[in-house]
Structure 1
Amino acid sequence: MCYPFTVQLFRNLRFVNFSHCTLLREIPDVSSLPNLESLDLRECTNLVEVHQSLGRLEKVVHLNFLNCCNLSCFPSRLNSRSLENLIIRGCIKLSRFPDMLVQVKRLKELVLYETAIEELPSSVANLIELKELYLSDCTDLKNLPCSIYTLQQLDRIFVDGCSQLSKFPECLCESSDCTNVSLPLALPSVINLKMQRCSLSELSFLKNLHCMSSLTILDLSENKFVSLPTCMSQFTKLQQLYLTHCKQLREILALPPNITFLHAKGCESLETCADLSDVLLYNPDESPWLRRIDFSSCQKLIQDQCSSNCNMLSIEGLLGETRVDIFYPGSKIPKWFAHQSTRGLIRFPVFS
């Protein structure tokens, strides 16, 4: 049997490490530990409750609850400006994220993988220097707050596997209010946005983002939207676009001008793809050109459309040592493809 420790004797205690204490079931009142900076409870698999007093400590820097799989009662508020690390990954019974009562400047990474969190509070905006937000496989997550748009330093957002997330929040400066220069830009620093295996039915939020000159990787695989919007052409730095197994996707209206990888495997309803010619023209003074396109298992893709794109690719795609991979539905090389070969290599002329 594990008994609560007597915290009154440790007023100057700064570091507590109870990691892997599988008999520990609760953390009692810690209000008598005003100097506590670090609490490590990772892999305490039978921990159920952490007393609310932890959230009132102002000097806390590190909190680690990694894989505390029975933790369900956690402080509803955190009041430490010094917080640098907050890890609750693998807390599969934790359904509520605490309100952040003060502005936190040191927390750069928020790791919430595989929790039961249903939504983030609007006070997440107080994590003003947050750079990385990880919510992968939070299968109960239904909403993200509009205040997420105020996080100007955020460069990575992973919400893949959040199967109940049906939409991204509306932008704070959506409508005519966008002319108000005092409003913050909407996620201006994001370079990697991963939303695979969610339930997105539309992508209107993309047109309101201000990361069009920073986003390089966008993963929208296994979602429910039917159209990739024309605003995609404005994402000038986007190089990798993943649309794998978007089974309801019917049309790709536009593509980023500097895309290098387009993965659309398994888009069984896809009928139309925007003309790729604008992004396939080689310009030695600018960024890389398209190198890999995967339309395998896209049986409804209009043949004439794809034919035009692939012909352009055969002429402009292979320059120097650049390799271009083309995946096209079917088991044979289409007759309209000008370069037939029984060998593993096809060489194309380079036009000056």
Structure 2
Amino acid sequence: MQTPDFTEMSNLEYLDLGNCINLEEVHHSLGCPTKLKRLNLIYCRRLKRFPCVNVESLEYLDLKFCSRLEKFPEICGRTRPNLKIKMCDSEIRELPSYIVQCLTLRHLDNLVALPSSIGMLKGLVILDVSNCYKLESLPEELGDLVNLEKVDASGTLISRPPSSIVRLNKLTFMSFAKQRYNVSLEEGMYFAFPQVNEGLRSLEDLDLSYCNLKVGGLPEDIGSLSSLKELNFTGNNFEHLPGSVAQLGALRSLDLKECKRLEELPDFMGMTNLMTLNLSIINIGHLPQSINQL
């Protein structure tokens, strides 16, 4: 199944081909409608080929669940700064350098890399690469995204976040969590979080569950995350936490569930706002006196 010829549709602004489950190819004339703003191809599960979209007006492109699409569509001409792209569950392996704003890149099972030019996307607020099971790294240029507020890289193979990530002082949420049974780091590969260096000043929620964290995997200056409220270390392998954890005065929730090798708990004296402490399935023999201050 193929779409019709778009040559005479010069005023076309919105094209919805969603749920065309037998669509295998979009006609090469799609570049003719120079006013096209929205293009919806969600659930075109047989779509394999896609022509060049020669438009500067495109604002929204939805490629979710195009599970046979292997190559990202080529967008010729200058893209709009507010271009929004949604993708998940496709065979796409790499993203082009011209993407301006990405909202959802979840479940791209074959995505192995993000372009270094991602650092040019100064308006990007949310980067979601969760469940991109083959993604092993993020580019150092990530630190140039000064407006970024959320990074969700859960369910990936990333074990070394770029050191530049600590420059993201508007970031409020960050996750590199692994999935207990589905995605985990290879044997002998351990997660390491970079030195904070007084950065990440707005970070409120950090999830590093099942990251195979060991002693040395957390920076000694993690206590400088002065805005941190939620901290999830579920299922990690460290024997103790950096001493500066005790300085997390804004922390409300600390999850140490299933940290079976944990031998001692931090001093809780400085955690004056802590309301939730999860210590289930751990082997600690005694609790610190400071826990009575909670």
Match of 2:93 in 1: 95
Q: How much does 1:209 deviate? A: 6.8
Match of 1:229 in 2: 219
Which of the residues 295, 305, 327 maps onto 2:279? 295
Which of the residues 149, 152, 157 maps onto 2:146? 152
SS for the counterpart of 2:103 is strand
The residue type equivalent to 1:140 in the other structure is K
Which of the residues 215, 228, 231 maps onto 1:238? 228
Q: How much does 1:117 deviate? A: 1.1
The residue type equivalent to 2:50 in the other structure is V
User: Structure 1 stretches of 5 or more lacking a match?
Assistant: 173-184, 281-288, 318-352
- 2:7 equivalent to 1:3: no
- 2:105 equivalent to 1:112: yes
SS for the counterpart of 1:140 is coil
CA distance in structure 1 between the aligned counterparts of 2:198 and 2:50, rounded to whole angstroms: 38
Written as runs of structure 1 = structure 2, the 5 A alignment for 1:103-182 is 104=100, 107=101, 110-115=103-108, 116-162=110-156, 164-171=157-164
SS for the counterpart of 1:149 is helix
Q: 1:222 to 1:138 in 2, by over 3 A?
A: same
Structure with greater contact order relative to length (CA < 8 Å, sep ≥ 6): 2
Q: How much does 1:156 deviate? A: 0.6
The residue type equivalent to 2:199 in the other structure is H
User: Structure 2 stretches of 5 or more lacking a match?
Assistant: 179-183
Q: How much does 1:242 deviate? A: 0.2
Match of 1:325 in 2: none
Match of 1:43 in 2: 43
CA distance in structure 2 between the aligned counterparts of 1:278 and 1:224, rounded to whole angstroms: 27
- In 2, are the aligned partners of 1:34 and 1:58 still within 8 Å (CA)? yes
Q: How much does 1:233 deviate? A: 0.9
The residue type equivalent to 2:266 in the other structure is A
Match of 1:218 in 2: 206
Q: 1:75 to 1:88 in 2, by over 3 A?
A: same
CA distance in structure 2 between the aligned counterparts of 1:223 and 1:262, rounded to whole angstroms: 16
- In 2, are the aligned partners of 1:144 and 1:169 still within 8 Å (CA)? yes
CA distance in structure 2 between the aligned counterparts of 1:89 and 1:41, rounded to whole angstroms: 12
Q: How much does 1:264 deviate? A: 0.4
Q: How much does 1:302 deviate? A: 5.3
Match of 1:61 in 2: 59
CA distance in structure 2 between the aligned counterparts of 1:307 and 1:261, rounded to whole angstroms: 18
- In 2, are the aligned partners of 1:10 and 1:33 still within 8 Å (CA)? yes
The number of aligned residues is 278
Q: How much does 1:208 deviate? A: 4.6
SS for the counterpart of 2:290 is helix
CA distance in structure 1 between the aligned counterparts of 2:252 and 2:124, rounded to whole angstroms: 29
Q: How much does 1:161 deviate? A: 0.7
Match of 1:187 in 2: 168
SS for the counterpart of 1:309 is helix
Q: 1:214 to 1:230 in 2, by over 3 A?
A: same
Match of 1:85 in 2: 84
Match of 1:261 in 2: 253
Match of 2:33 in 1: 33
User: How big is each residue's C-alpha offset from its partner over 1:267-295, in whole Å with a ceiling of 9 and x where there is no partner?
Assistant: 01112332111224xxxxxxxx1111112
Q: 1:209 to 1:77 in 2, by over 3 A?
A: farther
TM-score normalized with structure 1 length? 0.73
Match of 1:20 in 2: 19
Match of 1:345 in 2: none
User: How big is each residue's C-alpha offset from its partner over 1:304-336, in whole Å with a ceiling of 9 and x where there is no partner?
Assistant: xx23233xx3xx33xxxxxxxxxxxxxxxxxxx
Percent same amino acid among aligned pairs?
A: 21
User: How big is each residue's C-alpha offset from its partner over 1:97-131, in whole Å with a ceiling of 9 and x where there is no partner?
Assistant: 12117xx4xx4x52001002111101112221111
Q: How much does 1:257 deviate? A: 2.1
- In 2, are the aligned partners of 1:47 and 1:71 still within 8 Å (CA)? yes
TM-score normalized with structure 2 length? 0.87
Match of 2:196 in 1: 207
SS for the counterpart of 1:63 is strand
Q: How much does 1:48 deviate? A: 1.5
Q: 1:238 to 1:70 in 2, by over 3 A?
A: same
